[in-house]
Structure 1
Amino acid sequence: MQTGENEQALRKIIDFTRLLSITILIIHFYLCCYPAFLEIRLTHKIVDHVLLPISRMSIFKTVFTAKLSALLLLIVSLIGSKGRRDEKIRPKTIITYCLTGLLIYFCSSLLLTRPWLYIGATAFGYMLFLTGGGLLFRMLKLKLGDDIFNKENETFPQEERLLENEYSINLPAKYQLKGKERNSWINIINPFRGILVGGSPGAGKSYFVIRHIITQHISKGFSMLIYDFKYDDLSRIAFNALREHGGRSFYVINFENIMHRSNPLEPDTMLDITDAIESARTIMLGLNREWIKKQGDFFVESPINFVTALIWFLKRYKGGKYCTLPHVIELSLIDYKELFAVLSSEPEIEVLINPFISAWKNEAYEQLEGQIASAKISLARLSSPQLYYVLSGNDFSLDINNPDDPKIVCLANNPQKSQVYGAVLSLYVNRINKLVNRKNQQKCSLIFDEFPTIYFNGIDNLIATARSNKVAVTLAVQDSSQLKKDYGREQAEVIMNIVGNIICGQVSGDTSKQLSERFGKINQQKESISINSSDTSVSRSTQLDYAIPASKIAGLSSGEFVGMVADDPTNKIELKTFHCQIQNDHDAIWQEELAYQDIPRARSINQNEILMSYQRIKEDIKVLTEAISAES
């Protein structure tokens, strides 16, 4: 513990040491230049008598040892010195003073033949070195201005090992640690706990992350569903990866350039009326996204019940002969009298259609229109020959992870028509979800680019329960606010919080704040300075602060990602959080893409065939109506 007495005693010792150094130098001058002192009568018998024994000491035997002894004592006195520290003192100034002083101090020995010049040069060199040494121990080295953005403090160790297994996704990366660049790996060893890929447009979600998820999972034998919002960006990658690895069939659902056909309401896959309810809810909420936030309202649930009745009736009629979405649309458009006569023939949907029939019989036509017209208007938007043709075919079944027939299915959307196409593709996703989430199936990867553009009813339940069935779900979103807009606040928060693996590029607002809190805090060193007229004090401390602040997440460059991975009991990962630049071999990817082949057309079809299919579906409903009318 410091006291006034201790500091005073230390000061006396320092002063004595420096005085001893100066004394040795003066004695050296007197002994070495005695003739010059004698000439100007600056000698005395008593002094000579005292200094004669001292001159026999070893330090005065040579000029070099005497000067070196004086210099060493000066250095010792400087080490213990204490003065007002100043951050304006520069190392160059100190080095100049010290080197110049040492050079003059020792080279002055060449002037021994001129005693007074020698004494002056040696004393001048001594003073220069004393000045430089004093500056050295008063120099204040601060890092306050070197790292104005606190980058070094916010770096932390990250996983540098490559951890692979039969399901993993491994992305090479580089990160900064205390100013040094180091190699690392993003190891998603358990993709079945869900993967959320976030980032604003241009952040590099597809190029740096999603393309590698596709290629690595295909190489590891996964069956796959890809929702390709901007067809054929991801489908082309998947097709060419499959050419290299094989072992699965490849299908594309595309409503503009027709490739394959598939019926999402395949009657064999609809086991009970709850399947029809989920399908109806998916298609209606997909067509009317604002209804998602109003589920439970009378004028939302009524159209859903109406469409459910249509689907289940067609499923039950003649073994599901006409159970397709185009037939559902056409059946909804017939007159009420014929419609209710048709639906009344199926006892299982009596509960569903009873409110509509009651309103019709009681001539409550305004209520009836409110219940049914919204469904008819929404479904009418899907009345397109191309849609009818694709939705009424049966080129493949939707059990994509069937071990006997694994598939890679791409659902193609068009950003300009995303609202209509997205609703139908949502129905495909809903039906595939029901079929893949079963035991004893092949490992499966579901990848959704621009996920908010479709309505996936039960995505949280899929992520929560599909892990044991080896179903990996990857969701690509731009921002949590986008999810809240399309899915509602509660559902969006569930999706954001339930996902185990997060890889996020540049985002801002609430998303960046939420992620920053999720990544947690680290110990960071803080430094402060206090300067007054007599002293300068520096204090250093450590405190917990955010490892990746929200402002840093909002300023990430393209290809730079932050996130957190999940592990499993057999393969623990201690360093789960990362902030790194994912490393893509751009030349290799460019060469690979040059060798890509275009996805071949599955069929050659003309417009006449599409129109014939369209008319045939309309005729089917007409025949069905007449047959039931004849029976009744």
Structure 2
Amino acid sequence: MQTGENEQALRKIIDFTRLLSITILVIHFYLACYSAFRDLKLTHRITDQVLLPLTRMPIFTTMLVAKISSMLLLIVSLIGSKGKRDEKIRPKTIATYCVTGLLIYFLSSYLITWPWLYIGATAFGYLLFMTGGSLLFRMLKLNLGADIFNKDNETFPQEERLLQNEYSINLPAKYQLKGKERNSWINIINPFRGTLVGGSPGAGKSYFVIRHIITQHIEKGFAMLIYDFKYDDLSKIAYNALRKHGGRSFFVINFEKIMHRSNPLEPETMLDITDAMEAARTIMLSLNREWIKKQGDFFVESPINFVTALIWFLRKYENGRYCTLPHVIELSLVDYNELFTLLSSEPEIEVLINPFISAWRNEAYEQLEGQIASAKISLARLSSPQLYYVLNGNDFSLDINNPDDPKIVCLANNPQKSQTYGAVLSLYVNRINKLVNRKHQQKCSLIFDEFPTIYFNGIDNLIATARSNKVAVTLAVQDHSQLKKDYGREQAEVIMNIVGNIICGQVTGDTAKQLSERFGKINQQKESVSINNTDTSVSRSTQLDYAIPASKIAGLSSGEFVGMIADDPTCKIGLKTFHCEIQNDHDAIGREESAYSPIPPVRTISQSEILNNYHRIKADIKIITDES
């Protein structure tokens, strides 16, 4: 117990020990230099009777033993001493005092022939060492400021077991625990609960995380959809992984270097008008991203209804023979008189086109243009021979997780044309989403690099409901603010909160704060120092503080990630949070990439064939209008 009586007793013991040390040294001087004291008549009969018999004690038998005994007692007294911490104390000063004092103290033995010089040198060395030792032991007791960034306090135990199953993604890593580096694993054992990979440009999302999700899921037999924003970064990884493991077909949708063709509006997959409405909403909101925040407005819903009517008319016309997006675009350009006459022939879309026909018959042309022109202008941006050629083909069906014909499909985008291509690719994603989220299909992985560059209507529903259908969704984003800008605040919050697995590199601002709060708090030791004129006191306490502060998330290096994983009822994980550096074998990856085979061309297509297809679609619409 820290009471005044205990402290006084400790001081008395320290003082007594130091006094004993000095006493031994003084007796040693008297006995070793007795002749010098006698010559100066500093001896006394009584003193001699008391001290001279001490020469028979082991401690005084030799000069060295006496000095060592005195020095050991001095060191003991210094260890228990207290004192005010002096911030000017430097290790160099302490070392100088202690080393010089010890050298003088022990080497003074060579001066024994000059007794008074010997006594002076030994005493001087003793005082030098006592001064240095006092500084040394006070400094050791108050060794503060060694962890100025609180790194050791903010470390915590992490999962070190390798936990695998037929769906898992396992990333080797290293982490710090109380100043020691330890091996760990990021075990995403349930990817069907959704995975969000975040981090600013250069944080290592693709190199450290996405590439391993692709290769490990291909190895485990997943069907796969990859949205490759910077084609062919991810597609090449998938293609070469598939060459090694096989078992699935490989397709690429690329509007610049044409590979495969597919119709996202396949009539076989458009079962009712709600499918047409979903497709129309996806394509229009992708082309006009600011409309996402204005859904429900008259001049947003009107163009969507108009496009829905066009799609469903073509789906019903001659059993969907012309049901493609290029035909929808060309049909939207038909003169109102012919167009409304044509659409009126289909009863199922009467409720959709009625407001447009009413405005046209009542000669409310300004209102009509406001309803339809935004759709026509938006769709006109897709009027490209290249796009028409790809969208008008049928090389493969979009049910990528069909157990009889599993596929790996790569959707290629170009950052320089991301808005135009992203709108069409969003339609592919929307249609594939409808087809993969069904029971009794093959396990499937949907991977979206730079997810905010496409519009995925219903991504939250997919993550929430696809778990039982073995559909794993991986979203790569740079920042929460980017998601809010493109999807709106409410949708962005839902996406951030609904995913079960988060792996995040360096981010700042609100994203870092939100993640820090999500990771929770841990017990941390706090230390405070109080310095007054006579003493220095140190108080230590334990309190809850953020395990990974926002400032630390904002300062992560490339390859360093924080996050939290979700477990499974069959495999509980106690340590879900992690802050570690993912370990990539850079040399092995370099050798692997140098041996990659390029994705082979699928077809050789001339520009004239592309243009002929373009004109044929226009001719198809002419035939439809003439027949009406």
Tell me how far 1:325 sits from its aligned partner. Answer: 1.2
- How far apart, CA to CA, are the structure 1 residues paired with 2:5 and 2:471? 75
Indicate whether 1:178 and 2:181 are aligned: no
The residue identity in structure 2 corresponding to 1:197 is V
Q: Deviations along 1:401-438, whole A, 9 cap, x unmatched?
A: 00000001111112222212111111110000000000
What are the equivalent positions in structure 2 for 1:228-627 lying under 5 Å apart?
228-627=228-627
Shift of 1:65: 4.4
Q: Aligned in 2, Cα 1:221/1:117: closer, same or farther, shift over 3 Å? A: same
What SS does the aligned partner of 2:472 have?
strand
CA contact (8 A) 2:106 2:122 kept: yes
Q: Distance in 1 between matches of 2:383 and 2:73?
A: 100
1:12 deviates by: 3.7
- Normalising by structure 2, we get a TM-score of 0.94
The 1:13–1:399 alpha-carbon spacing in structure 2 relative to 1, beyond 3 Å, is: closer
Tell me, what secondary structure is at the counterpart of 2:313?
helix
- Which stretch shows the higher mean deviation, 307-316 or 438-447? 307-316
Distance change >3 Å, CA 81–CA 420, structure 1 → 2? closer
**Does the C-alpha gap of structure 1 residues 73 and 284 become closer, same or farther in structure 2, counting only changes over 3 Å?**
closer
Q: Within 5 Å, which residues of 2 pair with 1:12-91? A: 12-51=12-51, 54-91=54-91
Q: What secondary structure, in the 3-state scheme, does the structure 1 residue paired with 2:322 have?
A: coil
Q: Secondary structure at the match of 1:569?
A: coil
Q: CA deviation at 1:61?
A: 4.4
Larger deviation: 174-183 or 187-196? Answer: 174-183
The change in CA–CA distance for 1:82 and 1:469 in structure 2 (over 3 A counts) is: same
- Conservation of the 8 A alpha-carbon contact between 1:87 and 1:141: no
Change (3 A) 1:12 1:159: closer
**Once the 2 structures are TM-superposed, how far is the Cα of residue 92 of structure 1 from its aligned partner?**
4.5
Which is further off, 573-582 or 81-90?
81-90
Deviation at 1:143, TM superposition (A): 5.1
TM alignment of 1:71-220, pairs within 5 A: 71-139=71-139, 141-142=141-142, 144-220=144-220
In the aligned structure 2, how far is the partner of 1:388 from the partner of 1:68?
97
Deviations 1:344-384 (A, max 9, x none): 22221121122222222222222222212221221122222
Secondary structure of the 1:137 match is helix
In the alignment, is the contact (CA less than 8 A) between 1:251 and 1:407 conserved in 2?
yes
Superposition RMSD in Å: 2.2
Provide closer, same or farther for how the CA distance between residues 386 and 106 of structure 1 changes in structure 2, counting only shifts above 3 A. closer
1:34 Cα deviation from its structure 2 partner: 3.0
Work out whether residues 168 and 190 of structure 1, in 8 Å CA contact, stay in contact via their aligned partners in 2: yes
| Alpha-carbon distance in 2 for matches of 1:80, 1:111 | 33
Q: Does the residue aligned with 1:211 lie in a helix, a strand or coil?
A: helix
Query: Once the 2 structures are TM-superposed, how far is the Cα of residue 241 of structure 1 from its aligned partner?
Result: 1.2
User: Offset of 1:262 from its aligned partner?
Assistant: 0.8
For residues 537-588 of structure 1, what are the alpha-carbon distances to aligned partners after superposition, in whole Å with 9 as ceiling and x for unaligned?
2222232222222222222222222222111112222222222222222222
* Farther off after superposition, 242-251 or 25-34: 25-34
On the 8 A contact 1:87/1:140 being kept in 2, the answer is: no
Deviation at 1:17, TM superposition (A): 3.5
Tell me: CA distance 1:147–1:247, structure 2 relative to 1, closer, same or farther (3 Å): same
Contact kept, 8 Å, 2:82 with 2:535, in 1: the verdict is: no
* C-alpha separation in 2, matches of 1:145 and 1:3: 29
C-alpha distance in 1, partners of 2:231/2:286? 20
- Contact 2:299 2:370 (C-alpha < 8 Å) held by counterparts: yes
1:112, 1:118 within 8 Å by CA — same for their partners in 2? yes
Counterpart CA distance in 1 for 2:519 and 2:66 is 64
C-alpha distance in 1, partners of 2:12/2:592? Answer: 78
CA distance in 1, matches of 2:50, 2:144: 56
Q: 1:496 to 1:143 in 2, by over 3 A?
A: farther
2:231 aligns to what SS in structure 1? Answer: coil
Answer yes or no: is the 8 Å Cα contact 1:86–1:536 preserved in 2. no
Change (3 A) 1:13 1:197: closer
One-letter amino acid matched to 2:461: N
Q: Matched residues in 1 for 2:475 and 2:82: separation?
A: 62
- The separation in 1 between residues aligned to 2:130 and 2:251, in whole angstroms, is 84
| C-alpha distance 110-241 of structure 1, shift in aligned 2 (>3 A) | same
Shift of 1:197: 1.3
Distance in 1 of aligned mates of 2:534 and 2:430: 76
- Secondary structure at the aligned position of 1:275 is classed as helix
Distance 1:5 1:547, change over 3 A: closer
Greater Cα shift, 521-530 or 298-307? 521-530
- The letter for the 2-side match of 1:393 is G
Alignment: residue pair count: 628
Distance in 2 (CA, whole Å) between partners of 1:500 and 1:143 is: 43
Conservation of the 8 A alpha-carbon contact between 2:251 and 2:410: yes
TM superposition shift of 1:53: 5.2
Once residues 411 and 496 of structure 2 are traced to their aligned partners in structure 1, the CA distance between those partners, rounded to angstroms, is: 24
Deviation per CA, 1:473-494: give whole Å up to 9, x if none. 1111111111111111101111
Contact preservation (8 Å) 2:175, 2:580: yes
* Deviation per residue, 1:92-117 (Å, 9 max, x gap): 44444444444444454455454434
TM superposition shift of 1:140: 5.2
Aligned-partner Cα distance in 2 for 1:74–1:187:
57
Whether contact under 8 Å (1:460, 1:494) holds in the other structure is: yes
Q: Distance in 1 between matches of 2:44 and 2:383?
A: 125
Q: Output the CA distance in 2 between the equivalents of 1:155 and 1:262.
A: 51
* Aligned residue type for 2:308: T
State the distance in 2 between where 1:480 and 1:181 align. 31
Shift of 1:48: 2.7
The answer to whether the 8 Å contact 1:561/1:580 transfers is yes
SS in 1 for 2:227: strand
Q: What TM-score do the two structures reach when normalised by structure 1?
A: 0.94
Moved more, 123-132 or 350-359: 123-132
For residue 218 of structure 1, report the CA deviation from its aligned partner: 1.0
Native 8 Å contact 1:164 1:170 kept in 2 = yes
SS of corresponding position for 1:523: strand
Contact 1:89 1:140 in 2 (8 A): no
